[in-house]
Structure 1
Amino acid sequence: MSTAEQNSNIRIAPTAAAPQTIFRDGLVREAVRSVPEEVPIAFSYGGSSHAVMMGTPADLEDFATGFSLTEGIIASPAEIEAIELLQEGDGIDVQVTLAEDKEDALRARRRHMAGPVGCGLCGIESIEQAIRPVPDVSAVEMLLSPADIATASSALNEAQPLHAETRAVHGAGFFIPGEGLIAVREDVGRHNALDKLSGAVLRSGRQGRDGVVVVTSRISVEMVQKAAILGSPVLIAISAPTALAIRTANAAGMTLVALSRGEDFEVFTHPNRIRFEAETDVS
């Protein structure tokens, strides 16, 4: 079944029209606002459900690929043989067919995880796994100017049609110096948006080491983990990082740029990838 045929099975639009009453400047008026849809999205492997995420019903093939990568189910998109989208009531079942060896490995992993899971993160069974080591990207060479960082952030803000329509979703983009923003994905969940972006980058034939991940959200440890698994050496965000995200990025050799607003930004780890053009303030 082709991607177009699969998508034709999905009858849930990414947005919905919501009637509203607006009070502004002392006046009351009736209106209709476009809001993002949020639905259960199940990822099934070999016919068995693995995880259910709440997300935006768009770019689901990218989502499945990126989720499978960042959850350690696959190492490359080539290990996915097929993706089929099925609507199940008010949700969507994303059925992923893996290469036989990966299917066997996941089946063994499920047996090992049998029983109640106490941690809130999908697919893990211990606190240690929640703060698992991430790939080392310290050897990935990249040099950015402050203008590159400003351009990446502003380009992402201008390339989010769903957010422009709803003002209620997160965005994640992949920026390559000298080329610009080559991919953007959106979702009500910031982790989902980054998984979708990872899938889009890999399915396009690019590698994470080729560019920079830029996001519209705060930087949690999961955002650092996912960017490192993709292989990107730089993560840029418009908001601030958590302390654990900083420690994780530092250990992974990742350059963490946060609070990117206009031409201003703050670098929390590995500033050697930034070619500063201004004098250093030592006051």
Structure 2
Amino acid sequence: MPNETVTHSILKANGPQLDWIEDTVVREVPLTIHYNREEIATLLCSPFQTEELTLGFLINEGFIQIPEDVYEIRHDPLDHLVWVEGKPCLLQKELMSKRFVSACCGKSRASFCFANDALMVKPVTSTYSILLQEAYDYAKFLQSYLPLFQETGGIHSGGVGNRGEAVLTSYDIGRHNVFDKLSGSAFRSHLSLENHVIFFSGRVSSEILLKVAKMKVPILIARGAPTDMALSQATALNITVIGFAREQRLNIYTCSERIIR
């Protein structure tokens, strides 16, 4: 993967021994996104699935909703710029507003979210369920789908699964970017994620949970730990959260009825 990594001379220590070696380092680039000729954001990311990342970001921030909202997308890979022409967004400036605190979903569950999250996020209605062994299989696949991590130790990875099969996969230096890339890939493929699983290499924060809710995915399987705020949101939004997933071990934190023995 010559475009996604570089080599760097390092001094490697092994006990008292010091040796100069060439090490592989993951690349990080600033990707600047323009929507209807206005600069929207600059994302620090891996130079992979750039257009999918752009589309997923625009979906999850409320700029676009359906493929017909996108008229044209152009990418300059040398200067890391993307221009998207699409359906006019009347709330374009408001959608990039600062965070605020809101009480949502009742019973005094407080969460930090973007202003547009309060409008975009609704409880997941899917009754989709999976076998426990299927959850183990996704965890095993996630562990095997880490060649760049094993080479560099510097990326997150994730995927979308259905019936035990990985339908979409992605990776990036940023865990948020992994979800945006998956969302953008599904968007391009006209794939509804309501009866799918997302598996992910990192921890589950409230912001990650909100991205899953926006994608309308009912089950999230992660190798890392969830936060208490993420679990409060997951309960309120009817999302099954699984953490510490390994080949034959995992913790089911919320909405356990979706996991069948």
Using the size of structure 1 for normalisation, the TM-score is: 0.81
Change (3 A) 1:104 1:190: closer
Q: Deviations over 1:255-277 (max 9, x none)?
A: 0111112211111110000113x
Q: CA deviation at 1:165?
A: 2.5
Tell whether 2:70 aligns with 1:80: yes
State the SS of the aligned residue for 1:135: coil
What do the CA deviations read for 1:99-130 (whole angstroms, capped 9, x no partner)? 2xxx242xx432x57xxxxxxxxx23341474
Shift of 1:163: 2.0
Contact 1:22 1:29 in 2 (8 A): yes
Gaps of 5+ in 2: 103-111
Query: Equivalent residue for 1:163?
Result: 149
User: 1:146 maps to what in 2?
Assistant: 132
Could you tell me which amino acid in structure 2 is paired with residue 136 of structure 1? P
State the Cα deviation string for residues 214-269 of structure 1 (Å, max 9, x = none).
Answer: 11010011111111111110011111111110111111100011111221111111
More helix by share: 1
Contact 2:63 2:89 in 1 (8 A): no
Q: Which residue of structure 2 lines up, in the alignment, with residue 281 of structure 1? A: none
Count of aligned positions: 246
SS at the partner of 1:261?
coil
- Kindly indicate whether residue 123 of structure 2 is the aligned counterpart of residue 136 of structure 1: yes
The corresponding residue for 2:107 is none
2:221 is paired with a residue whose SS is strand
Q: Distance in 1 between matches of 2:201 and 2:195?
A: 20
| Cross-structure match for 1:117 | none
Contact 1:19 1:33 in 2 (8 A): yes
Distance (whole Å) between structure 1 residues aligned to residue 99 and residue 129 of structure 2: 37
Contact 2:195-2:217 within 8 A present in 1 as well: yes
The Cα RMSD (Å) is 1.9
Report if aligned partners of 1:20, 1:32 keep a CA contact under 8 Å in 2: yes
Shift of 1:162: 2.5
Which residue of 51, 68, 81 corresponds with 1:61? 51
User: In the aligned structure 1, how far is the partner of 2:140 from the partner of 2:198?
Assistant: 13
Q: Which residue of 2 aligns with 1:47?
A: 37
Q: Provide the TM-score with structure 2 as the length reference.
A: 0.88
User: Which residue of structure 1 aligns with residue 82 of structure 2?
Assistant: 94
Q: Which of residues 207, 212, 224 is equivalent to 2:197?
A: 212
Aligned residue for 1:116? none
Match for 1:109 among 81, 85, 92? 92
Shift of 1:151: 0.6
Aligned partners of 1:76, 1:259: CA distance in 2, in Å? 34
Asked if 1 retains the 8 angstrom alpha-carbon contact of 2:29 and 2:47, the reply is: yes
C-alpha deviation, 1:87, in angstroms: 4.6
Distance 2:238 2:84 in 1: 32
Distance in 2, matches of 1:195 and 1:33, equals 29
Distance 1:135 1:258, change over 3 A: same
Identity %: 25
Q: Tell me the SS of whatever aligns to 2:63.
A: coil
Alignment of 1:124 onto 2:97:
yes
Q: What is the letter of the counterpart of residue 109 of structure 1?
A: Q
Provide structure 1 residue ranges, at least 5 long, that are not aligned to the other structure: 1-11, 114-122, 277-283
Larger mean CA deviation between 125-134 and 160-169 belongs to 125-134
